Amino acid sequence: MPGAPAGSNEKFELCHTARADLPRRKPSRIVPAMQRIAYLLCELKARDFEPRLLIAAALLKAGCAVVVGQRWSMAYNGPTAPQGCYLFPTANAIQAATMATVAQGGHIIAAADEEALALAGPAMLEILAPESLQRAVFFAHSDLHARTVSAAFPGSTITVTGSARIDLCAAQGAAARTTATPYVLVNTNFPLTNSVWGSAADAQAQLNTGGLTDAAQRVAWESARREKFMPVLAWMCANLADEIVIRPHPAENAGLWQSFAARTANVRVVIGESPGPWLAGARLVVHTDSTTGLEAAVMGRPVLNVSTEPDWGAKFVMRLINTTVISADAAIAALSAFSTTGTLPPPAQTVADMYPVGGAQRTADAILGLLRAREAKPLGGDFRWQPVDRPDVLKQKITVAKAEVAESPHIKPTGATVHQIDESLFLLVPSKRSS
């Protein structure tokens, strides 16, 4: 097959006006309506990308092609992309509008809710939009999640898949990062009052667009949490012998923390890296109602949750599965004791039985089942893709190089061929042995 992608067992043509390095040839057969391809949309690199690669690996091994990376280009190309299954990372009002666009291409639409992974009770429902659930097959991360969503939205199509993020955390827990100096990891969680969007008002406007009705209250809660946490961080910098590593929330303006680190001898700031290795290698993880508290608990790390706003903190499972304090004074007392004993008081509940194992494979199996039901055929014919320019604020959310995919420990063993089809967006074609 002259001109076919190396390692490919399918006949298709990559058509791309902006990239001369992609192989091109005339299609040799009629393109089937539904093809064996999954589109795994990512919004935040730190949250979405590596778990999506786990799902992609399972799909590739089953002979299913994958497009993975930034969601904006996938949304734009939805009406013309080869028909397959689109997996959205969330199911809010913004995603609902994108789903309507993608539906024009005849795709199967599925949606998880990555933002709800660490939520508890009615808070699981806060960002879900009815129009999203009407259009998508919903992938729940636990039986409780499925029951909660089903009760609130009767008639929804729901499958319990678990979460690839939980898989990833469990695996990373055994592969701790080693550094010359032990470190305490601080995951800041102030994406509204220290936002990449600019002011708190600008960040609040983004929440309003997403369909949230309590955006102003969220800003107020975060402002109070941040004010009460800063004395704790100052105490840590002055009193702990360990290095302090700060990982800002992906939607935070990292410049604030970089300026703070420049004035403080034992502080460094990490941005743009997967949180897993940093969590796994930390002597202690400190956060303020951050989802990373769940991930660290899965890894078996000591975790201190500084949860000072009860109406906000009660929304999250971290209050149960992390050692939790409700004031700056209590946080400093716990940290002081930890510096002497190396231990924290035990949390109220363990995380082991909360989420089903094998979330990546379960998710891949659910996608494959949806494709089989539509009699999807192997990827073939033209593969046309139009590049999309993204503003810098979206590039801060997720920027990925081709090598990060091709050399990924999840993707490389599959033997898949990796094509870059847009900035931070990649087509993965199964190897011959996959099918």
DSSP 250-275: TTB-THHHHHHHHT-TTEEE--SS-H
Instruction: Decide: 295 and 270 in contact? Cβ < 8 Å.
Output: no
pLDDT at 382: 82
pLDDT at 28: 39
pLDDT at 389: 95
The residue written with tokens 């393109």 in the block is 31
pLDDT tens column, 368-390: 999 999 999 999 888 889 999 99
pLDDT at 407 over 80: yes
pLDDT at 3 over 70: no
CATH topology of domain 12-163+356-434: Rossmann fold (3.40.50)
CA angle 173, 175, 181 (to 5 degrees): 100
Residues with Cβ within 8 Å of residue 391, at least 6 apart in sequence: none
**What stretch of H or E contains 397?**
helix 392-397
pLDDT at 16 over 70: no
pLDDT at 150: 96
pLDDT at 160 over 70: yes
Least confident of 2-11, 391-400, 403-412: 2-11
CA angle 43, 226, 326 (to 5 degrees): 110
pLDDT tens column, 211-234: 667 778 888 899 999 999 999 999
**What stretch of H or E contains 71?**
helix 71-77
Alpha carbon of 215 to those of 123, 206, 383: distances in Å?
A: 14, 9, 41
pLDDT tens column, 237-285: 999 999 999 999 988 889 999 999 999 989 999 998 878 889 989 999 9
Structure tokens at 62: 């089953």
Instruction: Please spell the DSSP secondary structure of 340-387, one letter per residue.
Output: HHS--PPPSS-STTTS-S-HHHHHHHHHHHHHHHTT-B-S-EEEE---
The domain locations on the chain are 12-163+356-434, 175-341
Give dist(CA 136, CA 32) in Å, integer. 22
Least confident of 20-24, 98-102, 121-125, 252-256: 20-24
Q: How many Cα atoms are found within 13 Å in the side-chain-facing hemisphere of 291?
A: 18
CA angle 138, 143, 145 (to 5 degrees): 55
Q: Was domain 175-341 assigned CATH 3.40.50.2000?
A: yes
Give dist(CA 185, CA 19) in Å, integer. 41
Specify which residues 306 forms β-bridges with.
325
In degrees and rounded to multiples of 5, residue 138 shows phi and psi of: -95, 130
- Cα dihedral value 121, 126, 131, 136, nearest 10: -50
pLDDT at 243: 95
Task: State the pLDDT confidence band at 65, using cuts at 50, 70 and 90.
Answer: very high
Residues with Cβ within 8 Å of residue 218, at least 6 apart in sequence: 192, 204, 207, 212, 312
Instruction: Name the percent of the chain lying above pLDDT 70.
Output: 89
- Domain 175-341 in the same topology as domain 12-163+356-434: yes
The pLDDT of 122-151, averaged and rounded, is 93
